[in-house]
A and B are shown apart, each in its own frame.
Chain A
Amino acid sequence: KAGVTQTPRYLIKTRGQQVTLSCSPISGHRSVSWYQQTPGQGLQFLFEYFSETQRNKGNFPGRFSGRQFSNSRSEMNVSTLELGDSALYLCASSSGLNPRDTQYFGPGTRLTVL
């Protein structure tokens, strides 16, 4: 099976702009989780989607949002970008049938905010 894919791999934006990141899960997986990875805060959970519904949400401001499509592909959007949003954004997929399913990670999207 093909692994989790994320596009684009690199992005450079300026403060105030918005950005959309995309994640395609492993075929047959219905859950997609998003994480932010920074040197200071490490890996932090953003949100999780299952069957087009947000099932869980981390402690991030409302500028961070996401959605999931009927084919399980997911997008996350960050509006009004701040310098502190510079990070590696990872998505992970799992079957979603068991909350504790193993999550399989994509390569990440490196976002730089200038």
Chain B
Amino acid sequence: AQRVTQPEKLLSVFKGAPVELKCNYSYSGSPELFWYVQYSRQRLQLLLRHISRESIKGFTADLNKGETSFHLKKPFAQEEDSAMYYCALIGASNTGKLIFGQGTTLQVKP
């Protein structure tokens, strides 16, 4: 079965602290992994995808195929990072079908 699991519903950290949002997946094949973010009252938007290997707004994510994980990390959290974060995957044969995790709310306290 194809599944994305984000074990934390809420992650609360202080400004300047490191952040790691966990994402584990189940997929028999080579999926493409994404992180989407939804800021308050804004639409869902792409943060990064593993194939691009970019760092966006200081966030990075490494695909670990052995552990089937794609955790999102940032060394120093900022208050403007407070948002809902969704991990998602898409399979090779499942055109247009993103499978989302349940999402993690990141709360960065001043």
Whole-angstrom CA separation of A36 from B86 in the bound complex? 15
**Contacts A42-B103, A100-B32 given: A48-B43 contact, CB under 8 Å?**
no
Of all chain A residues, which has the CB nearest B95? Answer: A99
Q: Using an 8 Å CB-CB cutoff, how does the interface string of A31-47 with B read, 1 for contact, 0 for none?
A: 10101000000111100
Instruction: Please state if A106 and B97 are interface contacts (CB–CB under 8 Å).
Output: no
Q: Using an 8 Å CB-CB cutoff, how does the interface string of A64-98 with B read, 1 for contact, 0 for none?
A: 00000000000000000000000000101010100
Of all chain A residues, which has the CB nearest B52? Answer: A102
Instruction: Please state if B46 and A104 are interface contacts (CB–CB under 8 Å).
Output: yes
B25 contacts the other chain (CB 8 A): no
B residues in contact with A3, CB < 8 Å: 43
A residues in contact with B90, CB < 8 Å: 99-100
Whole-angstrom CA separation of A3 from B95 in the bound complex? 21
Instruction: Please state if B43 and A103 are interface contacts (CB–CB under 8 Å).
Output: no
Instruction: Please state if B98 and A45 are interface contacts (CB–CB under 8 Å).
Output: yes
Interface of A is mostly: strand
Of all chain B residues, which has the CB nearest A58? Answer: B97
Instruction: Please state if A45 and B97 are interface contacts (CB–CB under 8 Å).
Output: yes
Near A by CB (< 8 A), chain B positions 26-52 give: 32, 34, 36, 43-46, 49, 51
Residue of B43, B49, B94 near A108 (CB, 8 A) is: B43
Residue of B32, B44, B96 near A90 (CB, 8 A) is: B44
Whole-angstrom CA separation of A50 from B94 in the bound complex? 13
- Chain A residues packing against B (C-beta within 8 Å): 3, 31, 33, 35, 42-45, 48, 50, 55-56, 58, 90, 92, 94, 96, 99-100, 102-108
- Which 7 A-B pairs rank lowest in CB-CB distance, beginning with the nearest? A48-B96, A99-B95, A43-B100, A105-B44, A100-B32, A33-B96, A45-B97
Q: 16 more A-B contacts (CB under 8 A) besides A43-B86, A104-B45?
A: A31-B95, A33-B98, A42-B100, A43-B88, A43-B98, A43-B100, A45-B96, A45-B98, A55-B96, A56-B94, A56-B97, A99-B94, A100-B51, A104-B46, A105-B44, A105-B45
